[in-house]
Amino acid sequence: MQPGKRKNIILTGFMGTGKSTVGTLLAEQLGYKFVDTDQFIEKMEGMSVTDIFQKRGETAFRALERLVAKELGEKNSLVIATGGGLMLDHENAESLGGRGKVFCLVASPDEILKRISADDDRPLLQVKNPGERISELLQKRQKGYGRFTQIITTGKTVLQVVDELLDTLQN
């Protein structure tokens, strides 16, 4: 298959599951370009996701995600790390999944909290009890995430997760 025609690989899942870290290494290993949808939106809008949420609201942010999903869904040879809620939207899942293979990275609530505890740039976790909020959101998103091939990242190194993804892609 020609390099320009290789299907995209989409990594979805909750925040802190390793999408960007794993995606960067996976893209490097495959010779693909890596794109993080949140960073793409930040560059496009000239402000952080947190600022977009605060100034324009979640609805406006989700509309930006739909635009980005459509644009990236028309490209090839990308590893795309999505924001945690992007693939829960059916339209986005169709836009990206139609030209790629989707994997959902999964981690335990405790592992997620540990990984993101030093990160203040998580608008959905700006609450009194982030651990409780993580569990609540995971429960709410379980069905949506469950539509995709699950890759557990808890207790694994980035390289182990990348190797598992590469093995799954070859089978």
Q: Does the pLDDT at position 70 exceed 70? A: yes
Q: Is residue 171 part of a domain?
A: no
User: Once rounded to an integer, what is the mean pLDDT over residues 38-67?
Assistant: 94
Q: Is residue 74 part of a domain?
A: yes
Q: Is residue 61 part of a domain?
A: yes
For 92, the domain range is 3-159
Q: Does the pLDDT at position 120 exceed 80? A: no
Quote the CA–CA distance of 57 and 160 in Å, as a whole number: 37
Q: Does the pLDDT at position 1 exceed 60? A: no
Q: Is residue 127 part of a domain?
A: yes
Q: Tally the domains of the chain.
A: 1
Query: Which residue is it, tokens 């990308």?
Result: 78
pLDDT, averaged across the chain: 90
pTM for the full predicted model:
0.89
So what's the pLDDT on residue 57? 92
According to DSSP, the residues that pair with 36 across neighbouring strands are 81
Q: Is residue 168 part of a domain?
A: no
Q: Is residue 32 part of a domain?
A: yes
Q: Is residue 145 part of a domain?
A: yes
Q: Is residue 7 part of a domain?
A: yes
- Cβ–Cβ under 8 Å, residues 27 and 79: yes
CATH code for the domain of 147: 3.40.50.300
